[in-house]
Amino acid sequence: MHAQRVRALLMGGQACVFYGAAEFSRDTDFVILADAANFARLRKALADLLAEPIAVPPFESKYLRRGHALHFRCRHPEAMLMRVDVMSKMRGVEPFARLWKRRTTLQIPGGEKCDLLSLPDLVQAKKTQRDKDWPMIRRLVEAHYFENQSQPTPGEIRFWFQELRTPELLVELARRHPSVCGRLTRQRHLLVDAQTGKLDDLQQAMLAEEAAERQRDKEYWLPLRQELEKLRHAK
């Protein structure tokens, strides 16, 4: 991706590892800019990897712009059988230009740089209907909280109030920053339960919040799944 100058951000399980929430990942997930020039660079990068499409939809940018993922299997000797999944549009996630501006850039062994979705954007991208994503969100935000709680920035405090999924930590945060908590209750109503310290009520409210997000994700994917089904039958 770097060699071909593809505007791409690592996401998914491998990005979670970088942020301290270990997950076994069988593939490499990217969100990319889906304009014509970047899509051409993506083609070159995948050609270098000897990557072949392995599922519908076809390798066309219009499917990325509609919200589909494109799936590939690499045949290059140094990436043999590695799966690469590429997306450009995700439910509830900002357009790529904003994701790129907020990206995290890390240097990995060997001196190579790696561009990732920012942690808040990764958390948002994980709010799906899949069972495995919700424990991962919890671990991601917990890891960030424990790493930065001693001297947090105002932005980090807001992020924790908006995304923590551990009742005990949310109650602790509300006690430490009551004024911020009060201002954010309209955005996340369950913070009222965090203020009162009612852990059982807070846990139930979090489950309801998760269920609502899962339902929204199902509704978002319904027409996309129907389109994929038509493509499979046509193929």
pLDDT tens figures, 85-112: 999 999 999 999 999 999 999 988 888 8
Confidence at residue 108, expressed as pLDDT on a 0 to 100 scale: 83
Strands 52-53 and 113-116: unpaired
Residue type, 72: F
Name the pTM for this structure.
0.94
86 has which bridge partners? 30, 70
| Contact between residue 170 and residue 202 where contact means Cβ atoms under 8 Å apart | yes
User: Quick one: tokens of 205?
Assistant: 């409210």
Written in H, E and C, the secondary structure of 44-61 is HHHHHCCCEECCCCCCCH
Within 10 A of 136 (CB to CB), how many other CB atoms are there? 20
Mind listing the pLDDT tens digit for each residue in 140-166? 999 999 999 999 999 999 999 999 999
Provide the percentage of residues in the chain whose pLDDT is more than 90.
90
Helices (H), 19-166: 36-48, 61-66, 96-101, 119-125, 133-148, 154-163
Altogether, the residues listed in the chain come to a count of 235
DSSP 82: -
List the chain domain ranges. 8-124, 133-219
117/31 Cα distance (integer angstroms): 8
Distance CA 24, CA 111 (A): 24
Tell me what the mean pLDDT of segment 46-51 comes to: 97
